[in-house]
């Protein structure tokens, strides 16, 4: 919160509550999930405040966008969890698999080095069908149409 203060942002009770909730989350969440969780705890918080506060927490390095599901759903996770993992998202059941790969890291390093690019952040999202869903559809011989967006 020092960060926000230094930037001349008001640190309101609402924002502190949001920060607390964000830091307590142990997996991916949407802005909407935060709202629901906080309301359940009887906290007074507006959707607008959540949407305004999340970008500040990202700027402060406390939060990051993990992946998108659908057109409008953006999932976040706090930066206390395992660092630099990537996501595979099943478009059928919505399962999210987190993975890390040393090979991938090396490949990315090689690429950024090649272009002398100073990488600051990145996001790798792989969409498709998880093992359960893809085997299910193989038996059926009928995969669902990819849902756009």
Question: Which residues form the interface with Zn ion (CB under 5 A)?
Answer: 66, 77, 90, 92-93, 95, 98, 130, 133
* CB of 53 or CB of 66, closer to Zn ion: 66
45 close to 7: Cβ distance less than 8 angstroms:
no
- Tell the residue number behind the tokens 């906080």, with chain if given: 38
Residue 74, H or E segment: strand 73-78
> Residue 58 CB, nearest distance to Zn ion (Å)?
14
> Residue 98 CB, nearest distance to Zn ion (Å)?
5
Mapping DSSP to helix (H, G, I), strand (E, B) and coil, where does residue 105 land? helix
- Is the sign of the CA dihedral 54, 60, 65, 66 positive or negative? negative
* CB of 14 or CB of 77, closer to Zn ion: 77
> Residue 146 CB, nearest distance to Zn ion (Å)?
13
- Tell the residue number behind the tokens 């390093």, with chain if given: 109
> Residue 62 CB, nearest distance to Zn ion (Å)?
15
* CB of 49 or CB of 65, closer to Zn ion: 65
């Amino acid at each position: 919160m020092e960060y926000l203060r230094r930037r001349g942002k008001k640190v309101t009770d609402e924002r502190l509550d949001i920060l607390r909730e964000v830091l307590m989350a142990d997996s991916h969440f949407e802005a909407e999930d935060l709202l629901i969780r906080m309301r359940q705890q009887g906290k007074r918080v507006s959707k607008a405040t959540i949407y305004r506060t999340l970008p500040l927490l990202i700027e402060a390095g406390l939060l990051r966008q993990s992946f998108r599901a659908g057109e409008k759903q953006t999932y976040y996770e706090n930066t206390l969890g395992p660092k630099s993992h990537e996501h595979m998202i099943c478009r059928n059941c919505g399962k999210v698999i987190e993975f890390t790969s040393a090979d991938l890291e090396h490949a990315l390093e090689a690429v950024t080095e090649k272009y002398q690019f100073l990488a600051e952040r990145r996001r790798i999202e792989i969409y498709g069908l998880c093992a359960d869903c893809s085997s299910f559809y193989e038996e059926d011989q009928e995969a669902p149409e990819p849902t756009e967006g």
